[in-house]
Amino acid sequence: MRKKEIISKLPYSKPFLFVDEIVQIDENGVEGKYTFDENLDFYKGHFKDNPVTPGVILIEVMAQIGLVCFGIFLLDNSFNKRTSIALTSTEIDFLKPVFPNEKVIVISEKIYFRFGKLKCKVKMMNEKEELVCMGTIAGIIVTPVLSKG
User: Is 41 contained in some domain?
Assistant: yes
User: Is 148 contained in some domain?
Assistant: no
Whether residue 10 contacts residue 19, with contact meaning beta carbons closer than 8 Å, is answered with: yes
Give CA–CA dist 114/94, Å, rounded.
28
pLDDT tens-digit readout, 8-19: 998 899 999 999
What global pTM score does this model have? Answer: 0.91
| Encoded amino acid at 135, one letter | G
User: Is 149 contained in some domain?
Assistant: no
Whether residue 58 contacts residue 122, with contact meaning beta carbons closer than 8 Å, is answered with: no
User: Is 121 contained in some domain?
Assistant: yes
Q: How far is CA 22 from the centre of its chain?
A: 10
* Domains in the chain, number: 1
pLDDT for 32 equals: 98
User: Is 111 contained in some domain?
Assistant: yes
79 in active site: no
H-state helical runs in 21-144: 55-63, 70-75
CATH of residue 27's domain is 3.10.129.10
pLDDT for 1 equals: 62
Identify the active-site residue in 46, 103, 119, 121.
Answer: 46
pLDDT band at 145 (very low <50, low <70, confident <90, very high): low
Pairing of β 117-126 and β 21-26: unpaired
pLDDT tens-digit readout, 52-92: 999 999 999 999 999 999 999 998 877 777 788 889 999 99
User: Is 147 contained in some domain?
Assistant: no
Q: 37 lies in which domain range?
A: 3-142
Whether residue 95 contacts residue 134, with contact meaning beta carbons closer than 8 Å, is answered with: yes
pLDDT for 147 equals: 54
Give CA–CA dist 91/123, Å, rounded.
11
User: Is 42 contained in some domain?
Assistant: yes
